[in-house]
Amino acid sequence: MKTKKRWLDSIPWEAVTFINRQLCEAGKMAARLNRAANARAEALWEKTRRQRLTFREVIETALHCHRLAPFAHFNGNTFVAIVRNLGQEIYARYDPATAHVFRSAVDHYVAGTITANELDLVFGRIAKTPTTRRGPRRR
């Protein structure tokens, strides 16, 4: 989880906006932008997008963009969807129950419903989990 890579490189702001539109459509809500907040979130996203980040830094970027509220609806859901997809390679390293707890904690953090301290507790426990898969399973 401490490895840095360009997690967001393939997700330009246009893709973030597209995801939000899809979520709004599914929720039968009008997709609208909060113009000033959208400009700030886009600037942060694009500045961060080509940087090498840890997964935790990606999570923090998503939370920050969510809190800027660039969209009229489904801000949290938009950034949770992105981080959930990006985290699949990390979650796959763990047994299903641990992966579920990990994914759920990350989702709730990006959505703003748990604190950084609570997320750190989960990260700490997962780091000590002996059921971590290290590489492909042998048959």
Instruction: Tell me the per-residue pLDDT of 1-31, one tens digit each, with 9 for 90 and over.
Output: 678 999 999 999 999 999 999 999 999 999 9
What's the CA gap between 82 and 8, in Å, rounded? 9
Domain residue limits, the chain: 13-127
- Res 108 pLDDT > 50: yes
Please tell me the distance from the alpha carbon of residue 97 to that of residue 131, in angstroms, as a whole number: 10
Q: Is the pTM of this model over 0.85?
A: yes
**CA 135 → CA 20, 74, 93, 94, distances in Å?**
34, 36, 8, 10
pLDDT tens sequence across 27-44: 999 999 999 999 999 999
